[in-house]
């Protein structure tokens, strides 16, 4: 049985991961800025009759709050085995449509939120001599994804952070993985640019996304892939299969990947 924290655990990928963890008998803290939804998720998970779940309100942009939660969970249970730094937001719009507010919010949540989680979890895991940090990035952190460059930039940063930390942590008993999913059918896609100036992609962006990626993966299937990758200590967990193909293609031909991305941009512009 593992003791785990999942940020952004009240919906989407986080909820699916928390569900899979509890289903196998783990104890999970469902952390989310939406405390009511987190409590509802934890309540449903406790009805499974296997592991246990608790809810916690957490704003990942608040470094002190993140540190307090992670340390508190360790103090309560005597250890902290798994941390899924998963909370994130979607930013959509072409570069000329975006403001610095879009950039700053993406950096605050998608990058600093992960930094805060790593900064809180890593010393705990070093002290206890074990643990696994799993950071959620995106396929957009491995290939050029236009029409949301702040999102893409932060996800590339999370990949770099994770691989660099993995190298440092390898000799100290701590594992680090980064998750890079393709488009997943989650509420994230229906709430693009939350609380930010509107662009043509604000709100429900599934229509624009369908022009570039008509198939959406399910959060449940992704959670299965994530836990399998964690069990195998994968450095980079990419799913689904067509995402892995896109990653391989981008590595073999960066120019080709940019041409494919340009085609997606042309389709988005043509639809406006």
* Bond from prior residue into 41 cis (ω within 30 degrees of 0): no
Q: What mean pLDDT is predicted for residues 247-263?
A: 94
| Residue 151 annotated in active site | yes
Q: Where are the domains of the chain?
A: 3-270
- What pLDDT was estimated at residue 216? 86
Distance CA 163, CA 85 (A): 15
70-107 pLDDT, tens per residue?
Answer: 999 999 999 999 999 999 999 999 999 999 999 999 99
Predicted confidence (pLDDT) at residue 211 exceeds the cutoff of 70: no
Predicted confidence (pLDDT) at residue 205 exceeds the cutoff of 80: no
Q: Which of 70, 122, 151, 217 is catalytic?
A: 151
Structure tokens at 59: 């704003």
CB-CB neighbours of 17 under 10 Å? 30
CA angle 185, 190, 195 (to 5 degrees): 140
Residues 6+ apart with CB under 8 A from 252: none
12-49 pLDDT, tens per residue?
Answer: 999 999 999 999 999 999 999 999 999 999 999 999 88
Instruction: Look up the pTM and report it.
Output: 0.95
What is the torsional sign of CA 164, 167, 171, 175?
A: positive
β-bridge mates for residue 90, sequence order: 192
Distance CA 128, CA 125 (A): 5
Q: What is the CATH number of domain 3-270?
A: 3.40.50.720
Q: Render the burial of 204-227: b for 16+ CB within 10 Å, e for the rest.
A: ebeebbebbbeebbebbebbebbb
Predicted confidence (pLDDT) at residue 178 exceeds the cutoff of 80: yes
Rounding to the nearest 10 degrees, give the CA dihedral for residues 218, 38, 159, 126. Answer: -130
Task: Give Rg (Cα) of the chain.
Answer: 18
């Amino acid at each position: 049985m593992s003791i785990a924290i999942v940020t952004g655990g009240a919906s989407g990928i986080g909820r699916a991961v928390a569900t899979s963890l509890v289903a196998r008998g783990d104890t999970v803290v469902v952390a989310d800025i939406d405390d009511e939804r987190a409590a509802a998720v934890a309540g449903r998970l406790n009805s499974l009759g296997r592991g246990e779940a608790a809810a916690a309100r957490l704003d990942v942009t608040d470094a002190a709050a993140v540190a307090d939660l992670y340390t508190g969970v360790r103090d309560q249970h005597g250890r902290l085995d798994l941390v899924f730094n998963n909370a994130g937001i979607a930013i959509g719009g072409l570069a000329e449509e975006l403001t610095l507010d879009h950039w700053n919010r993406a950096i605050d949540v998608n990058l600093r939120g992960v930094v805060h989680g790593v900064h809180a979890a890593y010393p705990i895991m070093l002290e206890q001599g074990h643990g696994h940090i799993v950071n959620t990035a995106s396929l957009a952190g491995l290939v050029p994804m236009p029409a949301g460059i702040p999102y893409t930039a932060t996800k590339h940063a999370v990949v770099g952070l994770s691989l660099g930390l993995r190298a440092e942590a390898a000799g100290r008993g701590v594992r680090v993985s980064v998750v890079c999913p393709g488009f997943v059918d989650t509420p994230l896609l229906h709430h693009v640019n939350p609380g930010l100036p509107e662009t043509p992609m604000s709100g429900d962006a599934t229509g624009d996304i369908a022009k570039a990626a008509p198939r959406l993966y399910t959060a449940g299937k992704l959670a299965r892939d994530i836990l399998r990758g964690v069990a195998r200590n994968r450095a980079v967990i990419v799913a689904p299969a067509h995402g892995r193909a896109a990653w391989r293609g981008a590595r073999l031909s960066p120019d080709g990947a940019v041409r494919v991305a340009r085609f997606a941009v042309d389709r988005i512009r043509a639809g406006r």
